[in-house]
Amino acid sequence: MDKQVKRIGILTSGGDAPGMNAAIRAVVRTAISHGIECVGIRRGWNGLINSDFIPMTASSVSHIINKGGTMLYTARSLEFMERSGREKALATCRLLGLDGIVSIGGDGTFRGALALSRQAAEEGLTLQTVGIPATIDNDIGCSHYTIGFDTACNTAIECIDKLRDTMQSHERCSVVEVMGRHAGYLALYVGLSVGATAVLIPEHPLDFEQDIVEKIRRARLAGSTHYMIVVAEGAGSAVDISRRIHDEVGLDPRVTVLGHIQRGGIPSARDRETASRMGYRAVMSLLEGRGNRVVVTQDGRITDLDMEEALQMVKPFPLERYQILDSLSFIRG
């Protein structure tokens, strides 16, 4: 019988995402309701290295479900990637008597959790870890959905709807850069939702003539007098794309880089509800003796997978939505 988990740490790591607070709240409330004590580790894995932590009670997480950002702060930790850094982290785990850690973040966060758990085991310490996927990029291979994606999409859509008003008035071309360092999930979802003329994503190598010039030409023939180009930052720079449109199409585009505004804001219902269910599942995984897991959504269901297997998983990019966008933008008049 596995040793019953009695005290867990919780942390957020990597780029923040709206809904992280809802996940923190769910983990803390579920743990406490099952007799498990909670310690908030601040500033990601650095919090373990630097003994930067706070006790978490049921009231510590009151009134945060509807707040963007993370009450535990977040950071990326280079020191934690070194064995010596994780040694310092383990010393804090021993000091606090932690036998479990819930980490909320992306792939890198989970790789750190797995490395820490393995290093702990080498030293005879049992440290069970569970990851909760949270990134606005939605680019974690093991989970259909990651906390923050829906809120970020809605933020971008609201901004682009505003841009469309002025682009329509001035009969202009707008080039909008959205986040997605290595992935086009956000750009494609937003592009489809705003009726973009074209969407550029890293998963589809750019053919400027076909992907931009031809689409603007067809839209113009269909009667459009303004054009909306959505660019994932991982597919290129909106400024460069705009310059090429100017030089090769003869338009005078206006560039908007949405940047970090997509990372903030009041979490949407989907993000709050998903985060709450994921946080609950993370604690139940530990209670039921399943350590080194990642909580994921699969077709709307919440489940948990072996962390090592989860980190090797790749999810197919929905390129068929690219064809849908192509058709819909074609008939747009």
Give the footprint of ligand F6P on this chain (CB under 6 A): 15, 135-137, 179-181, 233, 263
- Of residues 16, 52, 99, 137, which has the active-site annotation? 137
**Which amino acid does the sequence have at 196?**
A
Minimum CB separation from ligand F6P for residue 16, in Å?
Answer: 8
Minimum CB separation from ligand F6P for residue 198, in Å?
Answer: 20
Rounded Cα–Cα distance for residues 163 and 157 (Å): 10
- In terms of CB distance, is 18 or 253 closer to ligand F6P? 18
Minimum CB separation from ligand F6P for residue 181, in Å?
Answer: 3
User: What count of Cα atoms within 13 Å lies in the side-chain half-sphere of residue 329?
Assistant: 30
- In terms of CB distance, is 162 or 181 closer to ligand F6P? 181
Rounded Cα–Cα distance for residues 142 and 133 (Å): 9
Minimum CB separation from ligand F6P for residue 183, in Å?
Answer: 8
Minimum CB separation from ligand F6P for residue 145, in Å?
Answer: 15
**Which amino acid does the sequence have at 66?**
N
- In terms of CB distance, is 181 or 217 closer to ligand F6P? 181
Crossing angle of helices 20-33/269-287, nearest 10°?
40
- In terms of CB distance, is 96 or 186 closer to ligand F6P? 186
- In terms of CB distance, is 86 or 263 closer to ligand F6P? 263
Task: For residue 88, give the nearest of 41, 27, 37, 28 by alpha carbon.
Answer: 41
Mind spelling out the 3-state secondary structure of 20-45?
HHHHHHHHHHHHHHCCCEEEEECCCC
Minimum CB separation from ligand F6P for residue 302, in Å?
Answer: 22
- In terms of CB distance, is 135 or 268 closer to ligand F6P? 135
Minimum CB separation from ligand F6P for residue 137, in Å?
Answer: 5
- In terms of CB distance, is 263 or 293 closer to ligand F6P? 263
Please give the angle made by the CA atoms of 256, 259 and 263, to the nearest 5 degrees: 140
- The residue count of the chain comes to 333
Task: For residue 7, give the nearest of 110, 126, 119, 124 by alpha carbon.
Answer: 126
Distance between alpha carbon 114 and the CA centroid of its chain, in Å? 19
Active site residue 211: no
Q: 332 and 219 in contact (C-beta within 8 Å)?
A: yes
Catalytic positions, please?
Answer: 137
